[in-house]
Amino acid sequence: MHEDIISIQQGKLIHIHQVNRHVYHLRIQSDDFKQLEYIPGFTMDIFLGDPNTQPNIDDRKYTIWNYEPIHQIIDVAICTFSNGKGANWVRTLEKGDTVYFKPPRGKLLLDDSADYYLMIGDITSLSHLYEINRNLPLNKKVFSFIYTYNQRDIFPDIDDSFPLDYYVINPLDPETIKNKIVSLLPDFEGEGIAYLLGDPNTVITLQNYFKNERNWNPKNLKAKPFWKEAK
């Protein structure tokens, strides 16, 4: 038996669509979401198979891109840049499949207490930034910087809008990204919260920059590498 057997939930894949060459849009309906006290920024650990019959199956963390509580439907955007296990798994899925996951929860949650927001990330973290951005009160100021090495990888938010600012940077280098951000950053008044997500080296470079050179309080830096660099 899987060690987390008690907390395994399941849902039905009611829609799967390849948005572009590296992004799949999944829509999952689950009665288990009836108990969900959803906060934007929640993620779910999705099993790459059936943990009831494959007890040692891996899981991967994916952000809830949108939650629709009336029919208990969530959207997820899964990227295949890694060509890793999760990427290979998503390519095998078909509409009607059962998907297994742990109860959604999260750490990089919506926090609407700040005066302004920095939303910085790559394509893999784009659905997370979209979900936070869409749920911020309209009066909040937002500076956004989505970095990608190819224009074709950019996908729109769930409502087909492109609400953030996108930058094609090739090659994707943390110092180049940082310098570009520094040159564009507006002088917002008040206290800010920065979501720094995505490429590990870029997240660390930006976290150090805001902490050491801009004297940001670390509690206002919601920084998270979305994967581990290969050793």
Ligand X SMILES: Cc1cc2nc3c(=O)[nH]c(=O)nc-3n(C[C@H](O)[C@H](O)[C@H](O)COP(=O)(O)OP(=O)(O)OC[C@H]3O[C@@H](n4cnc5c(N)ncnc54)[C@H](O)[C@@H]3O)c2cc1C
**Contacts with ligand X, residue ranges (CB under 6 A):** 43, 60-63, 77-79, 81-82, 84-87, 108, 124, 127-128, 224, 226-230
**With respect to ligand X, which residue has the nearer C-beta, 136 or 203?**
203
Radius of gyration of the chain (CA): 18
**With respect to ligand X, which residue has the nearer C-beta, 117 or 226?**
226
Coil, strand or helix: which one is 34?
A: helix
Calculate ∠ Cα 212-216-222, nearest 5°.
105
Q: What's the one-letter identity of residue 69?
A: P
Q: What's the one-letter identity of residue 188?
A: F
Nearest to 109 by CA among 88, 89, 139, 129: 129
Alpha carbons 22 and 25: distance in angstroms, whole number: 10
Nearest-CB residue to ligand X? 84
Backbone angles phi, psi at 98, to 5 degrees: -90, 135
**With respect to ligand X, which residue has the nearer C-beta, 105 or 141?**
105
Sheet strands side by side (includes 116-121): 166-168, 141-148, 116-121, 192-198, 221-225
**With respect to ligand X, which residue has the nearer C-beta, 57 or 188?**
57
Calculate ∠ Cα 32-28-22, nearest 5°.
145
Alpha carbons 90 and 83: distance in angstroms, whole number: 10
Distance of closest approach, residue 145 Cβ to ligand X, in angstroms: 17
Distance of closest approach, residue 165 Cβ to ligand X, in angstroms: 20
Distance of closest approach, residue 184 Cβ to ligand X, in angstroms: 24
Alpha carbons 71 and 216: distance in angstroms, whole number: 41
Distance of closest approach, residue 47 Cβ to ligand X, in angstroms: 12
**With respect to ligand X, which residue has the nearer C-beta, 85 or 102?**
85
**With respect to ligand X, which residue has the nearer C-beta, 20 or 188?**
20
**With respect to ligand X, which residue has the nearer C-beta, 60 or 178?**
60
Residues 75, 26 contacting (CB under 8 angstroms): yes
